[in-house]
């Protein structure tokens, strides 16, 4: 199996998965941080499909992509017209 092409990441489509590991105000790890890290790692082992809509200027777009081991591939972007 060949290597996946590196098309980079799409920062406008992906929300941050974690917050900082330690809350600077309270100086302890949040329970959600403890749970999110292993779940995020487990999700990276499977090529999951993600979908989103976003805008750039006055145009709207719909994107579908697959992510595996932290890399995006099969990215398809469509412009939304008449919305």
pLDDT at 82 over 90: no
pLDDT digits (tens, 9 = 90+) for 10-25: 444 444 444 445 555 6
Per the CB < 8 A criterion, the answer to whether 66 and 40 are in contact is no
Q: Where are the domains of the chain?
A: 31-80
Question: In this predicted structure, what is the pLDDT of residue 55?
Answer: 92
Per the CB < 8 A criterion, the answer to whether 75 and 11 are in contact is no
pLDDT digits (tens, 9 = 90+) for 2-60: 454 455 544 444 444 444 455 556 556 677 777 888 888 888 888 899 999 999 889 99
Looking at every residue in the chain, the average pLDDT score rounds to: 75
Please measure the distance between the N-terminal and C-terminal CA atoms of the chain and give it in whole angstroms: 41
């Amino acid at each position: 199996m060949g290597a996946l092409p590196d098309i980079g990441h799409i920062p406008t489509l992906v929300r941050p998965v974690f917050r900082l590991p330690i809350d600077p105000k309270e100086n302890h790890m949040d329970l959600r941080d403890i749970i999110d890290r292993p779940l995020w790692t487990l999700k990276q082992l499977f090529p999951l499909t993600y979908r989103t809509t976003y805008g750039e200027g006055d145009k709207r777009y719909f994107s579908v992509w697959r992510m595996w081991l932290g890399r995006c591939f099969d990215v398809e972007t469509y412009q939304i017209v008449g919305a």
